[in-house]
């Protein structure tokens, strides 16, 4: 199953408390909470290029499964991470105390981020 495609955010759970816990300023949280971000994923074997556009903010990350890389967090901070593939439709990474699981089911992509006992879930649909 290929992740390649463009996905539009449909819904999200726990956005505000999660972003507060990450340390984003309230003003940025309020601006970002109602914007439907677009994620573009290009998968070439084990290599991934992900571009997330939220309003005027664009975040680019590239990684290869199983190799250490540097990715940009939602806060703009760059951290080292290793992405693993589980089955053929699940990407898992641990980024500085935060666990990210991205699962593709048909045209729906679900990204769940967990930090301590706080979970943030984003559901996007292929467009």
Local confidence band at 56 (pLDDT 50, 70, 90 cut-offs): confident
84-107 residue pLDDT tens: 999 999 999 998 889 999 999 999
Distance (Å) of CA 43 to CA 22, 27, 71, 88: 28, 34, 16, 12
Q: What is the mean pLDDT of residues 70-75?
A: 87
Average pLDDT over the chain, rounded to an integer: 93
Domains along the chain with CATH numbers = 5-126 (2.40.128.20)
- Rg, Å, the chain Cα set: 14
Local confidence band at 79 (pLDDT 50, 70, 90 cut-offs): very high
Task: Report the b/e string of 38-67 with b at 16+ CB within 10 A.
Answer: bbebebeeeebebebbbeeeebebebeeee
Task: Report pLDDT for 95.
Answer: 87
pTM over 0.85: yes
């Amino acid at each position: 199953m290929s992740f390649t495609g463009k996905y539009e955010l449909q819904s999200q759970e726990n956005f505000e408390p999660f972003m507060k816990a990450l340390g984003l300023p309230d003003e940025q949280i309020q601006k970002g909470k109602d914007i439907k971000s677009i994620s573009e994923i290009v998968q070439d074997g084990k290599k991934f290029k992900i571009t997330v556009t939220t309003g005027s903010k664009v975040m680019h990350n590239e990684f290869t499964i199983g190799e250490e890389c540097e990715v940009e967090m939602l806060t703009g901070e760059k951290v080292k991470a290793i992405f693993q593939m589980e089955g053929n439709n699940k990407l898992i990474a641990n980024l500085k105390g935060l666990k990210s699981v991205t699962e593709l089911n048909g045209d729906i992509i679900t990204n769940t981020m967990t930090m301590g006992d706080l979970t943030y879930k984003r559901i996007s649909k292929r467009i």
